[in-house]
Structures are given as structure tokens and as C-alpha cells.
Amino acid sequence: MTRSISILGATGSVGEQTLDLIRRNREDWRVEALTANGRVSELASLAREFDAKVAVVADEARLPELREALSGTQIEVAAGRDALCEAAARPVDLTLAAIVGCAGLAPTMAAIAQGRTVALANKEALVSAGDVLMRAVNESGATLLPTDSEHNAIFQCLAGNELANVARITLTASGGPFRTWTQEQLHAATPAQAVAHPNWDMGAKISVDSATMMNKGLEYIEAHHLFPVGLERLRIIVHPQSVIHSMVEYRDRSTLAQLGPSDMRVPIASCLAWPDRMDTPMAPLDLAAIGELSFFAPDETRFPATRLAREAIETGGAAPAVLNAANEVAVAAFLAGQIGFTRIPVMVEQALSRYSLPAPKCLDDVLSVDAEARANVQELLEHA
């Protein structure tokens, strides 16, 4: 049976890997909407290849270019933030939310409001909107499938079990490219070094987050919302081989883990086929070749980001949205060569200590906290 899908963030790393799986199973899917930020020619060629119903570019100034690139086709074109949300609200069997950053929140919420199935890769949306997003899921009756590899692993390990029987959820972290670096080396880390992840091929922002360990901090908050077992039952462990993608320990001390190649197409395939399974092009896991799996406690002196994330979710209210916004601005500044690597968590901590805003109650509240925190951090940057 053919199913319909929209991909928000089709030109990104997750978007492309999703389309790779769809390309291999073309007869199973009908593509409704594909969206991108600014890579118009890439978006247009994907829209043509997959015969999308609509292609949307976030940057309004690029609309004429998109229209030109898709002239002579039946594919509708649109641009701007509202158009992204309208496209995300078109009825489909599955929406893959794979925009990076809080920019993906409103379109993701528009998809959730349809009450269908949403595969969520866009962790920043859940970190910023937390309870607001989860409430929308409950109210619309949508099914949320975690696409982030750790959360997908936990989701799989929880299948057929009650959350009440969970003793502990362990998020594994690769430790990133700087796992063994000294503080001095971290000070001098460059954007090129930060985006060169040892195990995963990902977009620039999440690669920097992996290097600072903020990715794991965001994932800790993400896990808290997706699997509400209480913060005291959530922990992080560094596992450099990225073979175990996360684990669930039950009260009888039985631990279930999900293992697989470090390729996002595995968790994406789990979402595409859920509750069934599908083939992926990956080689089987060769444990004898991997040889050893190792585990380390996180070092929050060199990598304070997981502490900041834990403190933000313990504080609650607007703090996670401030944490996320500050991190997005700081990461962009690092990638642009404006600040050093170790300034990223420092700026996040400064932003968190600057104010305590009331808990956001709706999407607009989250977006205004996000905007205010961004402006604030931008100001910190300019006066640095």
C-alpha cells in the first residue's frame, strides 16, 4: 500500500538519508511536501525526482528562483515561514520533521496538529517547546516516532513494556571528535575540526553540538519529554564506538540495548516502516570486527554542556528554550569564526543566568522566549 510523506528539511543530512531510503522503495511512497531553507536548486531537483506535490523554500526572496527551477512541472511552489507551516499541515500518513533548530518548531507543530504520525528528528523543537509540544501531541492524538538514534533506540527497547517498570534509561554518547582533548586543545579547536565527527556524518550544527556534548544535553531534555520516567532515572554514558545507541534497564535489572551501524538510515527506517520493519542497504553489524565496546562517565569539567542542560530542565519554565536559543546563536558564531570553541558553553551559561522567564504556555510564548534569548546572546556577542 502506498503511503504519503512530507519531509521538512529535505535538503539536510536527515532529509537526504530519508529520501535515499524512499528512492530504494519508490513504489511504497507518494511524496507530498519537500521543504528547504535556501538550497533552491537542490530542492527543485529532489521535488522533480520524487514528483512532490509542493516544494517550499523558507527564504521568501528565493521564490522566483524556485518557480523558475520547477517551471514546466505540476509541482506547486511556495516560500516563507507561513508557507512552511501550510505545507506541514497538508494531510499525509507520515511527516519527517528534520529542519535544524527552533526554526523547525512551528512547522513541526503544524504537522502534529493534524493528529497523524510525525517522525521527529528536530530535537531543538522539543527542547524549546517541551510540555507545549507534548500537550499538542496528546490533544491531537498524533503518534510521535523518535528519529534521533538514541531516542529511537529507547523507543525500541521500551516496546511491549510499561514505563512504570523502568529503573533507568541510559543515553549513550560517542563523546565527539574532542573526547580525549585537553582543555588547552579545546580552546584552539577550529570549526573544521569540530564538524569532523568520528562516527556520524551529520549537518554542521549537530556536529558542533556533538563536539561540545550539547547534543547529549539536548537529547537528555528530549528523552525527559518523550519517556517521562523522571530525571533521576535518566543518565548519560560515553560509549566511543557508537554501537549501542541507548539502553533501558528494568526494575528486575534486565537491561535492553539497541545496537546497529552508526548510520541514521537505521533509525529513519525504523520510523518509515513502523510498526513493521524494512530493509536498509547497511552491512550487518560485525561484532567480531568491532572487537570491544567501552564506556566512560562524562567529563563535565571539559564538557560542561550536559550539566547546563540538566540544570535547565531541572529549573524548567523557559530555561530549556533559553538554553537552546543561546546554543544556536553561539554555535553559529563559532562556525562563523567569531568566537572560540570553549566560549559556546560559557555563552549558554551566561544566557541562562541572565533571566528566568515564565513557563511558555503556547507556541507563541516559546517563539517569543526564543527570539528574546537570541537577541540577548547576540548582544553578549557584540559586547564581547
Tell me which residue has its CB nearest to ligand NAD: 12
How many residues touch ligand NAD (CB under 6 A)? 28
Which of 14, 66, 142, 331 lies at the binding interface for ligand NAD (CB under 6 A)?
14
Region near ligand NAD per CB under 6 A, out of 154-162, 197-205, 323-331, 343-351? 197-205
For residue 271, CA distances in Å to 108, 115, 276, 344 come to 16, 16, 9, 32
**Please, which residue, 150 or 370, has the CB nearer to Mg ion?**
150
Regarding 327 and contact with ligand NAD (CB under 6 A), the answer is no
Comparing C-alpha atoms, which of 303, 311, 321, 309 is closest to residue 359?
Answer: 321
* Rounded distance between C-alpha atoms, residue 117 and residue 61, angstroms: 31
**Please, which residue, 328 or 349, has the CB nearer to ligand NAD?**
328
Instruction: For cell 537529547, name the residue.
Output: 219
Region near ligand NAD per CB under 6 A, out of 8-16, 254-262, 274-282, 376-384? 8-16
DSSP 8-state symbol, 105: H
Per partner kind, with CB cut-offs from 5 to 8 A, the member of ligand NAD, Mg ion, none near residue 121 is ligand NAD
**Bond prior to 261 in cis (omega within 30° of 0):** no
* Rounded distance between C-alpha atoms, residue 277 and residue 159, angstroms: 14
* Rounded distance between C-alpha atoms, residue 373 and residue 379, angstroms: 10
* Rounded distance between C-alpha atoms, residue 149 and residue 203, angstroms: 15
- 3 state SS of 166: strand
Per partner kind, with CB cut-offs from 5 to 8 A, the member of Mg ion, ligand NAD, none near residue 217 is none
Per partner kind, with CB cut-offs from 5 to 8 A, the member of ligand NAD, Mg ion, none near residue 250 is none
**Please, which residue, 107 or 298, has the CB nearer to ligand NAD?**
107
Binding site for Mg ion (CB under 5 A): 148-150
Rounded to a whole number of angstroms, the minimum distance from the CB of residue 383 to ligand NAD is 26
* Rounded distance between C-alpha atoms, residue 181 and residue 167, angstroms: 33
Per partner kind, with CB cut-offs from 5 to 8 A, the member of Mg ion, ligand NAD, none near residue 117 is none
Instruction: Compose the 125-154 pattern: x for residues touching ligand NAD by CB under 6 A, - for all others.
Output: -----------------------xx-----
Other residues' Cβ atoms within 10 Å of the Cβ of residue 158: 19
Regarding 123 and contact with ligand NAD (CB under 6 A), the answer is yes
Regarding 203 and contact with ligand NAD (CB under 6 A), the answer is yes
Rounded to a whole number of angstroms, the minimum distance from the CB of residue 210 to ligand NAD is 9
**H or E stretch covering 367:** helix 363-382
Q: How do strand 29-36 and strand 143-146 relate by DSSP bridges?
A: unpaired
Per partner kind, with CB cut-offs from 5 to 8 A, the member of ligand NAD, Mg ion, none near residue 380 is none
First to last CA, the chain: 57
Residue pair 132/361 in contact by the 8 Å Cβ criterion: yes
The grid coordinates listed for 99 are 529542519
**Please, which residue, 194 or 318, has the CB nearer to Mg ion?**
194
Rounded to a whole number of angstroms, the minimum distance from the CB of residue 317 to Mg ion is 25
Q: How far does Cα 169 stand from its chain's mean position?
A: 19
Contacting positions for ligand NAD (CB under 6 A)? 9-15, 36-37, 39, 58, 98-101, 103, 121-124, 148-149, 200, 202-203, 205-206, 264
